[in-house]
Structure 1
Amino acid sequence: MDLNKTDNSSYNDTGYQMLISSSIVFWTYLILDISSTICSFFLLYQFISRRILHRAINNHTIIAITFSSLGTNLLDVPFSITYAHLGIVWPPTPIVCVIWWFASNANFTTTNILIAWGSFERHILIFHEKWLSTKKKRWLIHYAPLIFFMLYPFIFYVAAVFIPSCNDSFIFDYIQPVCGWMPCYASKTPIVMYDISTHGILPNIVIAICSIALLIRVIWHKHIRYRQQVKWKKYRKLTIQMLSLSIVFLIFNLPYLIYVILEYGNILPTNIDPEIYNYLIILTDFCILLLPFITLLSLPSEFWLKKWRHRLPMS
């Protein structure tokens, strides 16, 4: 693949003229990215340094989500910040476009799939503890799926983004965000349909169904079946932790997913403003940037809130 091949005609395009000032987008991205990155590193420090946290099996998926969202903070969002500041992809080279495609798709898809898995796994952790009673069962039901869901998206996008020969003749549009948003493999219908359905539609369906089912099952077991307050207190944080991540993710991600489905289904209204796509992409980025804060709030307060309170000067 000749990554030095460019097409200077792309500079003649007008690009997107968004209603929101590019400076607002730039500063919002920058502030959120810096604060989210700091929060992610703080979370990982807490998870890794505190044995009670990293040994808790319910935190393993959360740790994986934190790592994948940090990948977005460090590899994807900086390109968006540069684009918002300069108005072009910089430096304007094919390799930057390919790396941006990979960073954007791989990290977001990993987070998407991990939240879907976490939403499903919560049912096992809360209602089927015996399934994880032995080391063999934990490896089969917990560790193996988690490792697979962490590695699979990166393997797929390495093959989809870096290997295709279409990159040799692809016209990289450096005036458009993400060099025109869609990688060159998007022109291959079977691959892009697999990408959308498996990495977009399916995980969000799983998140929605499992989250609703989890809420119903918890309410049923707490108020109707067992009426055991001790049992509810034990699992309340498990439920709230995953539900909060799932709800925030769905709120920010579903509009983009619906748009993509309508577009590829050729049922998108012809009079819809194409700039809407830009805003929906920004929403998905903001979603990832907010996840560390949601995770932080779900941690026991003794690991962060009380410590900060003790450091505040007394009035």
Structure 2
Amino acid sequence: ESTVALYDFVMHTMMPLSIVTVANVALVIRVLWQKRNQHGDWQRKWKLAAHLILVAIFFMITWYPLAINSIIYMYTSSSVSTDLQVKYFFFLPSLLEMTLPIVSVFFLPDFKKVVFRFRQNTIIPQIVNH
């Protein structure tokens, strides 16, 4: 049973975390390297890179504590580790799933223009003839 649990943990938690972390770091390095070598319209690409960095950091903040605490629990079976896991760390990935769409919406290109648009209504006096 412990072999299956270890396999499940490594293949379904640690491998995806490692792959996502390495891929995000490589993508950010690639974007910054291209920015250094090319001159052009980098505002759009910079927003895309900022969005990627924000999502990657948020992903790591929500998943790594759970993974690290799971490793500690597997080798020590500490009651403190169990308490932390049950009270806090199990809910962090749910937080990611709930807030990621909201974060992504704010990085849409015209979101601020459309949502935070204030209309300037001009009132013109008119003469009413009866």
For the superposition of Structure 1 and Structure 2, which TM-score range results when normalised by the shorter chain?
0.7 to 0.9
Where does residue 201 of structure 1 map in the other structure?
Answer: 14
Selected match of 2:108 from 283, 299, 307? 299
| 1:253 and 2:63 matched | yes
Superposition pairs of residues 1-315 of structure 1, within 5 angstroms = 188-223=1-36, 226-230=37-41, 232-233=42-43, 235-264=45-74, 266-267=75-76, 270=78, 272=80, 274-277=82-85, 278-300=87-109, 302=110, 304-310=111-117, 312=118
* Unaligned runs of at least 5 residues, structure 2: 122-130
Q: What amino acid does structure 2 have at the position aligned with 1:206?
A: I
Higher relative contact order (CA 8 A, sep 6+): 1
Shift of 1:193: 2.2
Residue 282 to residue 314, structure 1, CA distance change in 2 (3 Å): farther
Give aligned pairs, total: 120
Residues in 1 aligned to 2:3 and 2:82: alpha-carbon distance in whole angstroms: 24
Larger Rg: 2
Residues in 2 aligned to 1:271 and 1:189: alpha-carbon distance in whole angstroms: 19
Residues in 1 aligned to 2:19 and 2:58: alpha-carbon distance in whole angstroms: 15
Residues in 2 aligned to 1:202 and 1:249: alpha-carbon distance in whole angstroms: 14
4+ residue segments displaced more than 6 Å: none
Shift of 1:313: 6.2
Residues in 1 aligned to 2:50 and 2:97: alpha-carbon distance in whole angstroms: 18
| TM-score, scaled relative to structure 2 | 0.75
Task: Provide the alpha-carbon RMSD of the alignment.
Answer: 2.4
* Unaligned runs of at least 5 residues, structure 1: 1-187
Q: What amino acid does structure 1 have at the position aligned with 2:107?
A: S
Q: What amino acid does structure 2 have at the position aligned with 1:283?
A: L
